[in-house]
Amino acid sequence: MSDAVEQARAAAEAAKRAADEARRLADEAVQRAEELAAALAAQAPVLTPDAEPAAAGSPAPSGQEARLAPDAEPASAVPSSPEPAPAADTVPPGSGGAGPLGPDAVAAIRTGYAVEGPALEVGALVNGEAQPDVQVRIPLGMLNRHGLVAGATGTGKTRTLQVLAEQIAANGVPVFAADIKGDLSGLAVAGQRNEKMLARTEGIGQQWQGVASQAELFSLGGQGTGVPIRATVSGFGPLLLSKVLGLNDTQESSLGLVFHYAVQAGLPLVDLADLRSVLTFLVGDEGKGELAELGGLSKQTAGVILRELITFADKGADQFFGEPEIDTQVFLRTAADGRGIVSLLEVPGVQDQPEVFSTFLMWLLADLFNELPEVGDQDKPKLVFFFDEAHLLFSGASKDFTDQIVRTVRLIRSKGVGIFFVTQTPKDVPNDVLAQLGSRIQHQLRAHTPDDAKALRATVSTYPSSDYDLGEVLTSLATGEAIVTVMNEKGAPTPVAWTRLRAPQGSMDPMPAAEMQSRVQASPLLATYGTRVDPDSAHEMLARRMEAAAAEAAAVDAQKDAALAAAEAEEESARAAAAAAREAAAQAKQAERERAAAQKEYERTQREFEKAERAAASRRSGRSGRSTRTTASRKADDPLSDLLGSGLGGTIAKEVVHGIFSTLRRRR
């Protein structure tokens, strides 16, 4: 840990020394610039705004002197008291001396940028010094031939975008632009004058005054300050969604199949939850047969798409998928005074979700292409669309996606829409797209690496031939300067012109947050698009279908259970009846055995009784001769025997026994 701390401390000290050295060199450069300015003021003749450029044969200052020269205006404009020179990167190269162009080349540029109809005033030619009488313009009717604004970071691309947007809107054409860094909102606030800016604008022939443009603020799904812009998943489409999810060709094809099924099945895909529900359904037991005839959907592919959708949603994408979906016609509005409305899309944290931002803008463009009618070439476009940070759109794009962009750029011209790509270097834009761009405003390029040098050579090779050493000029342009070539009113390319660009008339500072919020709350669009709605869509429909299927399955299971219970009850009843029958049979058999035993016992008793009766009768007849005394004595001694022995007693006993056993016999 201590080693790391020491290394960090050493690095910090080295950085401090480097900064001190850079500050010392800068001070020396400022001092040399002041000395050079004083020498030029003392020696150069006084120049008027309409003075001719210096002779072509006059030597141009070296690159080092050019970069150190102050923001040169006519000599008479130099103040008597010395003031600090502007920063080196804002000083126009070639100040104070003749430029690279001769009188014929300057005249050709003057003629090439002369426009009869309405035009955008881009700036003034720089040829050593700014030439306010040679204005560089873009014909308004040529904006639908599209354009490119390129340049390294900090070279003035955003200010150029603001200048173009303000003038386009002032000519009654709506503008759509993404406010990546949050500083474009200032165009809706009138700019404030200062002496430095006025000196610069007067030097290029711009009669500057602060003007506020009409602007409407938007945000992606309410993320940021603005009227929320939302799109449905169905409207977004499988191709754009595949690009933003980073799917391969197979997965992209499968996603297209899912979209096709949703349309055929009447399942609206409004938000990401709808798409996840359809994917889950199609690989589940209930829906896996739905795509069997179309090739099916593997669980592995569906799993990849579902995981990417979850990651996509975690980045905040679920906020701008939904309804109400924005009607892109709102971007084609003009104000009551006839000026076009500038629609600014605030995109906070675009560095965290660049694919989402760029692809969403591409969806807007594609939707405009689908909705707008063919109008052909007109005096002015219906909309100009600024595609800032365009490299985010093409980075890692599939061939199909790139082909779609090329088709859109090529064909949307006939719908009256112009597109300006704003990026750092032309190589960020595919060649097929670059070939469609009629206007090019190229700010400074840097060639600090071999790749940069290669990109610089490639850029130079795409320009028409000129008297410039473009490889040298493009690396020495000051902030606020650019190499420009556009299409003239006849559709031919204009001469290449080193141009010092005009200053915006709106504020170059962001609009205050409180004012932005109040403007959004006052927008008439907020009532329509401000509140998110959750309509009946695929997620709800499939949920009901699953619930119905589950209820039906539960009913079938209940029916099966009831039938099984009835069968078991019937079987149990049969078993109980059989057991009862067996028990009754056993009881009957037992009763039969008991009756048989009783009958047998009766018969035995009967036989014994009859036997006893016969024996008694025999004894009576054998003893009949005995004396009456003996008989009388026996009777006196045993009355029961006398009774049974008599004929009446025998009859009574027989009847009693017969009655008892005959009753038992009847029970059979």
Both tokens of 399, joined, read 């061939």
pLDDT given for residue 649 in this prediction: 62
CA pair distance 409, 161, nearest whole angstrom: 19
* Six-digit token string for 205: 């022939």
**What mean pLDDT comes out for the span 617-627?**
71
3-state secondary structure of 272: helix
User: Does the pLDDT at position 304 exceed 80?
Assistant: yes
Whether the CB-CB separation of 166 and 187 falls below 8 Å is answered with yes
Tokens 């760029």 belong to which residue?
A: 358
For 224, the token pair is 């940021």
CA gap 17, 406 in Å, rounded: 50
For 168, counting Cβ atoms within 10 Å of its Cβ (0-12 exposed, 13-18 middle, 19+ buried), the class is: buried
Q: How confident is the model at residue 54 (pLDDT cuts 50, 70, 90)?
A: very low
Are 66 and 89 in contact, with CB atoms under 8 Å apart? Answer: no
Rounded CA gap, 183 and 508, in Å?
7
Q: Where are the alpha helices (DSSP H) in 44-102?
A: 63-68
The residue type at 325: E
pLDDT of amino acid 78: 33
pLDDT band at 60 (very low <50, low <70, confident <90, very high): very low
The residue that leads in pLDDT, 109 or 73, is: 109
Of 194 and 69, the structure prediction assigns the larger pLDDT to 194
* Residue pair 506/186 in contact by the 8 Å Cβ criterion: yes
Lookup result for tokens 């070439």: 377
Kindly tell me the burial class for residue 452, based on how many C-beta atoms sit within 10 Å of its own C-beta (0-12, 13-18, 19 or more). Answer: middle
Residue with the bigger pLDDT between 64 and 33: it is: 33
Q: At what angle do helices 238-245 and 354-371 cross, to 10 degrees?
A: 170
Residues in the chain: 668
- pLDDT, tens digit, 9 for 90 and up, residues 483-524: 999 999 999 999 999 999 999 999 999 999 899 999 999 999
What tokens appear for 123 in the block?
A: 């700036």
- Closest to 358 (Cα-Cα) out of 327, 321, 397: 397
> How far is Cα of residue 192 from the mean position of the Cα atoms in its chain?
39
pLDDT digits (tens, 9 = 90+) for 159-168: 999 999 999 9
SS (H, E, C) 120-153: EEEEEEEECEEEEEEEEEEEHHHHHHCEEEECCC
Residue 401 has pLDDT above 60, yes or no: yes
In whole angstroms, give the CA distance from residue 528 to residue 227.
9
CB 413 within 8 A of CB 205: no
80 — pLDDT class (breaks 50, 70, 90): very low
pLDDT digits (tens, 9 = 90+) for 638-665: 555 555 555 666 666 666 666 665 554 4
CB under 8 A, 24+ apart: contacts of 206-210 = 206/121, 206/124, 206/502, 206/503, 208/503, 208/505, 209/505, 210/505, 210/506, 210/507
Task: Supply the pLDDT for residue 68.
Answer: 33
Give 363's Cβ-side CA count (13 Å radius).
28
pLDDT at 88: 35
Q: Is the pLDDT of residue 130 over 60?
A: yes
Phi-psi region of 293 (alpha: psi -120 to 50; beta: other; left: phi over 0): alpha
pLDDT tens-place string over residues 7-46 = 666 666 666 666 666 666 666 666 666 666 665 555 444 3
Q: Assign 349 a pLDDT band (cuts: 50, 70, 90).
A: low
Cα 406 off chain centre by: 22
The secondary structure of residue 223, as a DSSP letter, is B
Q: What is the largest CA-CA distance in the chain?
A: 204
The pLDDT assigned to 62 comes to 36
**Mean pLDDT, rounded, of the chain:** 81
pLDDT per position as a tens digit, 258-303: 999 999 999 999 999 999 999 999 988 888 888 877 778 888 999 9
Average pLDDT for 168-190? 91
What tokens appear for 668 in the block? 């059979």
Map tokens 């709106």 to a residue.
506
Helical ranges in 505-537 per DSSP H: 513-521, 526-529
Calculate mean pLDDT across residues 323-333.
Answer: 93
Both tokens assigned to 364 = 């807007």
Residue 348: closest CA among 236, 185, 501 = 185
Q: How far are the Cα atoms of 243, 389, 406, 460 from residue 394, in angstroms, in the given order?
A: 10, 10, 11, 22
541 vs 399, higher pLDDT: 541
CB neighbours of 547 closer than 8 A, spacing ≥ 6?
none
Q: Is 430 left (phi over 0), alpha (psi -120 to 50) or beta?
A: beta
pLDDT at 192: 92
Confidence label for 417 from pLDDT (cuts 50, 70 and 90): very high
What is the per-residue pLDDT across 580-617, written as a single tens digit (0 to 9) for each?
888 888 888 888 888 888 888 888 888 888 888 888 88
What predicted TM-score, i.e. pTM, was given to this entire model? 0.68
In this prediction, residue 352 carries a pLDDT of 66
Residue 71 pLDDT level (bands cut at 50, 70, 90): very low
Q: Which tokens belong to 177?
A: 């632009």
| φ and ψ at residue 161, rounded to 5 degrees | -60, -40
